[in-house]
């Protein structure tokens, strides 16, 4: 009787597992997979692994990312090894740091840990590593109280972030669960960005185009309405240069010292608009070319 029950339980478990797998599987789209690069990585998870950092001194360009997981401790590194690692990062290298039980490492790079969290985190604003990423399931890690760029958050507390360190950076992220939500894409994006490559563009289907009207205010005080003919906008921020489609943009505000770009999903970016001219189709059907330097504000209404 007990054997029959065990067999029945095993069969039911396997059936449930098979049914659940399609919902959990999150493979990368083929167009993303094809655009990924080979990334040279050093993984440090024990005392013996720290010897790998000597290679950073001999061939600094031969490594894209150094990963330190929760099984490594600061005392594993000799003073010379630690200096080589930090010099490498300051000169443009990328450190990927597991935030679980790694408070000593986090503090070394100005990322002060808070409480422990786990589970699903949501995107925390705009960044190339968040392309096609809305939610990511994470294993246990620490919230971060100091950072330069927040990436993920849970209940208002940042769970993954980037800190700049000289000319390089530190990516502080708990271990990513890649079998559901957008974990697989987020991990691929981190590798591409951390290695200095451009993150693959979005493959999310574009929504049906909505009827839009642009209201443009010039610096002279003149106002005009129409429809954008320009469909691509270049914008530079402290985190890099990005291209946005007109469907992504809700507002452009151009000031003397800095420009503001507000996206339709609510993100607000401060930087410099690099697009020099904007074409606007007036209600008469005539296309008017406006110099960016003559525009004060462009608001899109749907």
> Which pLDDT score is estimated for 250?
87
What is the pLDDT, as a whole number, of residue 11?
36
Give yes or no for residue 22 having a pLDDT over 60.
Answer: no
Average pLDDT over residues 161-180: 93
26: confidence class by pLDDT, cuts 50, 70, 90:
low
Taking residues 114-127, report their average pLDDT: 91
Closest listed residue to residue 50, CA positions, set 65, 72, 30, 21: 72
Q: How confident is the model at residue 3 (pLDDT cuts 50, 70, 90)?
A: very low
Calculate ∠ Cα 93-99-104, nearest 5°: 80
Q: What is the CATH number of domain 26-194?
A: 3.40.50.880
Residue 8: is its pLDDT beyond 50? no
Mean pLDDT calculated for residue range 190-209? 84
> Which residue would you say has higher pLDDT here, 109 or 265?
109
Higher pLDDT, 301 or 283: 283
For the cut 60, the answer to whether the pLDDT of residue 12 exceeds it is no
Alpha-carbon dihedral of residues 198, 204, 206, 207, nearest 10 degrees?
-140
What mean pLDDT comes out for the span 229-233? 88
Q: What pLDDT, on a 0 to 100 scale, did the predictor assign at position 192?
A: 97
End-to-end CA distance of the chain: 67
What is the model's pLDDT at position 263? 85
* Of 46-50, 164-168, 227-231, highest mean pLDDT: 164-168
Q: Which residues pair with 189 in a beta bridge?
A: none
> Mean pLDDT throughout 57-73?
93
pLDDT at res. 190:
97
Structure tokens at 176: 């990513």
The pTM of the full predicted model, rounded to 2 decimals, is 0.69
pLDDT digits (tens, 9 = 90+) for 141-150: 999 988 999 9
In a 13 Å sphere around the CA of 78, the CA atoms on its Cβ side amount to 9
Average pLDDT over residues 168-184: 92
pLDDT the model gives residue 2: 42
Task: Tell me what the pLDDT averaged over the chain comes to.
Answer: 85
Region(s) of the chain under CATH 3.40.50.880: 26-194
Per-residue pLDDT, 7:
40
Q: What per-residue confidence (pLDDT) applies to 39?
A: 96
Residue 179: per-residue pLDDT:
81
pLDDT of residue 64: 97
Contact criterion met (CB below 8 Å) for 87 and 58: no
Helices (H), 101-168: 103-108
User: Could you tell me the pLDDT band of residue 210, with boundaries at 50, 70 and 90?
Assistant: low
Nearest to 281 by CA among 229, 235, 221: 229
Could you tell me what percent of the chain has a pLDDT over 90? 50
């Amino acid at each position: 009787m007990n054997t029959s029950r065990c067999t029945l339980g095993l069969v039911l478990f396997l059936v449930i597992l098979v049914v659940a797998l399609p919902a959990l599987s999150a493979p990368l789209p083929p167009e993303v997979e094809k655009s990924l690069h080979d990334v040279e990585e050093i993984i440090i998870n024990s005392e013996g692994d720290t010897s790998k950092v000597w290679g950073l001194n001999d061939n600094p360009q031969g490594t894209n990312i150094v990963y330190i997981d929760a099984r490594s401790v600061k005392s594993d590194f000799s003073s010379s090894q630690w200096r080589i690692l930090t010099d490498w990062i300051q000169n443009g290298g990328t450190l990927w740091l597991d935030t679980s039980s790694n408070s000593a490492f986090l503090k070394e790079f100005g990322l002060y840990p808070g409480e422990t969290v786990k589970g699903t985190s949501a995107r925390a604003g705009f960044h190339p590593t968040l392309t096609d990423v809305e939610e990511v399931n994470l294993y246990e890690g620490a919230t971060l109280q100091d950072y330069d760029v927040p990436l993920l958050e849970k209940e208002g507390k940042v769970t993954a972030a980037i800190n700049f360190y000289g000319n390089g950076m530190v990516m502080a992220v708990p271990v990513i669960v890649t079998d559901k939500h957008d974990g697989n894409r987020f991990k691929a994006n981190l590798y591409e960005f951390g290695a200095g490559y451009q993150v693959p563009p979005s493959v999310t289907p574009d929504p049906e185009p909505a009827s839009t009207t642009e209201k443009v205010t010039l610096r002279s005080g003149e106002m005009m309405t129409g429809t954008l003919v320009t469909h691509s906008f270049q914008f530079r921020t402290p985190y890099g240069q990005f291209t946005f489609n007109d469907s992504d943009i809700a507002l452009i505000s151009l000031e003397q010292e800095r420009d503001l770009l507000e996206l339709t999903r609510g993100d607000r970016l401060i930087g410099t608009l690099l697009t020099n001219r904007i074409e606007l189709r007036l209600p008469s059907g005539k296309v008017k070319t406006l110099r960016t330097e003559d525009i004060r504000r462009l608001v899109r209404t749907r």
